Chain A
Amino acid sequence: MKTIKVSAPAKLILSGEHSVVYGYPAIATAVNLRLTANSLGEITSDIPIGAGMGSSAAFAVVSSALKSKEFDLEKINDMAYQIEKGLHGKPSGVDNTVVTYGGFLWYRKENENFKTFKQIKAKVKLPKIMLLNTGSPTETTKEMVEMVGQRYISKKSSTESIFRNIESVTKGFLDLLLGGSEDFGDLIYENEKLLEELGVVSKATKEVVRIIEKAGGRVKISGAGGKKDGSGMAIVYHKDIEKLSLIGKKHGFLFKPVKIGEEGVRIEK
C-alpha cells in the first residue's frame, strides 16, 4: 500500500490578541513551521507546543486529511473542527480554518454563538519576519487573561480605547493585505505600543524591543504576553533583514526566520 504524507502549517496572530476576547477583530496567519504525518502514523513537527501557534489544530487537520478520501478542504476543515471540539470544548474555528486553508484569516466574535470568518485574498506579499522567543513568562496565560479582564473592569474606558486602537491596527493590516498603502513596520510598532499600554509586556521584553527599534527594526509580542520576566513569542521585522542578524549576534538574540501567509494543508511528495 502506498504511504500518504500530509503536512499542515502553524498559526500566528498578526494582530488582535486579548482584544479578540472582547469582540474586537483579529487577523491570524499560517506560518511555514509545519507538522507532517503519514498514513503509517509517523509524525514530525516544527510547531512549538503550548505557544498559541496552533499545534493542536495542525494535528487535527493533518489527521482529518489522512482520513479524507478526496482531499476536500471543506470536509477536512469540518472534521478538524469536530476534533478540536472534542479537545477544547468551544473552539472558535480560527485555528483549524487558517491551518486548513493557509494564508490570512479575519476573525471576529460577534457574540458567543455567531462569529465572522473571512479568508483574506492577499493582493500583496507581506515581508519575511523573524520570530524571537523573549523568554517564558512567569505568569500563567490564565493570569494574563485575568489581568486584562480586571483592567477591563477597573479601567473600562481606557481599556476599550486601547482595544479600539488595536482594531484600527488590525484594519491597517487588512488594508495592507488588500493592496493599501499602510506600512507593515508602522503597524507592528503601533500594535506593540498598545500591547505595552495594556500591560502585557514585561520590562525585560520592552528593553529588547527598544534595542531592535533603535536599530530600525520593529517588534510586537504575539500571544498573551508576560509581565514579570519574558513575554513569550514576538514577531520581529526589519526592512533590511541582514541588520537583524547583526543585532542578533551583538545581543545574543536568536531569531527564527518564518514566512507568513503560508500554504495550508497539503499532500507531500
Chain B
Amino acid sequence: MSNMVNIGSKENPVFVPESALEPDTPKGEEYFQMLASGSVVLPDEVLDALLEKINNENH
C-alpha cells in the first residue's frame, strides 16, 4: 500500500499517493500515465490543485 496525501479539502478529501507529488520519479510517472489514460480519476479542481502544489514545491 502507498502512503496517501490529502490534496482535497477536509470536507471533501481526495487522497493521492505520495508519488503523485513526485512526477519525476518512476512511480510518479506511472501515476500520471494512469491519469492521462483514464486509469485514475481526479475531479477537475483537484487535478488543478495537484498540479499547482507540485509546481509550487518545485519553485
Contacts and interface: CB of A to CB of B under 8 A. Distances in A.
Interface string B21-57: 0011011111111111111111100011001001000
A87 B2 contact: yes
A149 B38 contact: no
Contacts of B42: 90, 112
Contacts of A140: 23-24, 28-29, 32
Given A141-B29, A149-B51, A91 B34 contact: yes
A88 B14 CA distance: 11
Interface in A20-69: 20-21, 26, 28, 49-52, 54-57
Contacts of A16: 37-38
Nearest to A233: B33
A16 B31 CA distance: 17
Given A49-B30, A56-B30, A112-B43, A20 B38 contact: yes
A26 B37 contact: yes
Contact of B31 (A17, A88, A92): A88
Interface residues of B, number: 32
A223 B38 contact: no
Contact of B38 (A26, A89, A142, A144): A26
A52 B32 CA distance: 9
B29 A21 contact: no
Interface residues of A, number: 39
A110 to B, nearest CB: 11
A91 B51 CA distance: 18
A107 interface: yes
B36 A90 contact: no
A257 B13 CA distance: 43
Given A140-B23, A140-B24, A141-B33, A94 B47 contact: no
B34 to A, nearest CB: 6
B32 A86 contact: no
Contacts of B17: 87-89
Contacts of A115: 41
Interface string A78-96: 0000000011111110110
Given A140-B23, A142-B51, A90 B41 contact: yes
A50 B51 contact: no
Given A89-B15, A140-B24, A142-B51, A51 B38 contact: no
Sorted from nearest, which 5 A-B pairs have the closest CB atoms? A142-B23, A20-B38, A141-B32, A52-B33, A224-B36
